[in-house]
Structure 1
């Protein structure tokens, strides 16, 4: 089962397409920099870390689809 759940994630970002795109871009950034914004991550993967950042509202998206870190 995916954690965090898609239902919880869609309360933060309404579009599944935007959610997937944002998570993929951020996962690549985390992989390259080895830095993330989750204090106690539960995920073992870069995508999981990106999804946790979205759920904790440490990662948002602007209208131009650029990643924004809080």
Structure 2
């Protein structure tokens, strides 16, 4: 089983598209040298970004203020 699972990640974003965009933007920042906000399991930037989203360290701007 992959971590984090797509089902878990879909609870954090409005759509698969917004999830991909958020993860890609964060992965780019990690590639440019920003530090990860957690101790990652993954060695790849996209995996680290998805872990951060899964742990509520990142959220999409569309979901801010929504319940």
Shift of 1:32: 0.4
Which stretches in structure 2 are left out of the alignment for 5+ residues?
Answer: 63-67
Question: What does residue range 1-70 of structure 1 map to in structure 2 within 5 Å?
Answer: 2-38=2-38, 40-63=39-62
Give the distance between the partners of 2:19 and 2:34, measured in 1 at CA: 21
Which stretches in structure 1 are left out of the alignment for 5+ residues?
Answer: 64-70
RMSD: 1.3
Shift of 1:34: 4.1
Give the distance between the partners of 1:2 and 1:18, measured in 2 at CA: 20
- Structure with the largest fraction of strand: 1
TM-score (norm 2): 0.83
Answer 1 or 2: higher relative contact order, Cα 8 Å, separation at least 6. 2
TM-score (norm 1): 0.79
Moved over 4 A (4+): none
Counting matched residue pairs gives 62
